[in-house]
């Protein structure tokens, strides 16, 4: 399975980020799955790619052409979604949020039949989880619409969701 992971090109300040992303990359490689990611060798992106490769996994970096040629960001996002069988948002910045929001929307509209997993490491996505609950509370979304969107605390929960989905 191709697992698309969205995460930042920065390492962040929490050492748990680097450790968790290395663990995720190692598991992707050892389990025979493949990584699809944003293509950078920097920060957390570089860590997941290196960890996956070192564990014998296959890595597809969708190079951020936006930075090279100007206005091809849309093509990059489309390709990352097209290549993925499952989607994981690791803690990241606004780019990560923007990319996973598109996946969340496609899953909720049933334009994409794949798990959308938000890795809620140390409560990182608690605010987003609360916002989605508020959407349901206010009648702007429903539990059915949000099926396929998961918040997880660790790699074991990711494995469970992927095993149930495939």
pLDDT per residue as tens digits for the range 16-58: 999 999 999 999 999 999 999 999 899 999 999 999 999 999 9
Residue pair 117/161 in contact by the 8 Å Cβ criterion = yes
Return the pLDDT at 106.
97
Residues in CB range of 69: below 8 A, 6 or more apart: none
Whether pLDDT at 5 is above 80: yes
Average model confidence (pLDDT) across the chain: 93
Query: pLDDT band at 158, cuts 50/70/90?
Result: very high
Altogether, the residues listed in the chain come to a count of 166
**Rounded to whole angstroms, how far apart are CA atoms 38 and 87?**
13
Residue pair 52/37 in contact by the 8 Å Cβ criterion = no
Residue pair 28/1 in contact by the 8 Å Cβ criterion = no
Query: What percent of the chain stands above pLDDT 70?
Result: 93
Return the pLDDT at 77.
87
Residue pair 83/4 in contact by the 8 Å Cβ criterion = yes
Token readout for 149 is 């969107």
Average pLDDT over residues 83-102: 96
Average pLDDT over residues 89-107: 96
Q: DSSP class of residue 122?
A: G
């Amino acid at each position: 399975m191709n697992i698309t992971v969205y995460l930042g090109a920065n390492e962040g300040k929490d050492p748990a980020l680097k450790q968790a992303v290395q663990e995720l990359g190692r598991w992707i490689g050892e389990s025979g799955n493949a990584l699809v990611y944003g293509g950078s060798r920097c920060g957390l992106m570089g860590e997941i790619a290196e960890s996956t490769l070192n564990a014998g996994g296959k890595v597809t970096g969708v190079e951020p052409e936006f930075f090279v040629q100007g206005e091809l960001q849309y093509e990059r996002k489309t390709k990352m979604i097209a290549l993925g069988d499952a989607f994981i948002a690791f803690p990241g910045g606004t780019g990560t949020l923007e990319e996973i929001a598109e996946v969340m929307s496609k899953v909720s509209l049933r334009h994409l039949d794949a798990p959308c997993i938000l890795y809620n490491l140390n409560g990182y996505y608690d605010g987003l989880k609360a916002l989605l609950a508020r959407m349901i509370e206010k009648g702007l979304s429903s539990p059915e619409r949000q099926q396929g969107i998961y918040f997880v605390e660790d790699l074991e929960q990711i494995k469970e969701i992927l095993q149930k989905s495939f």
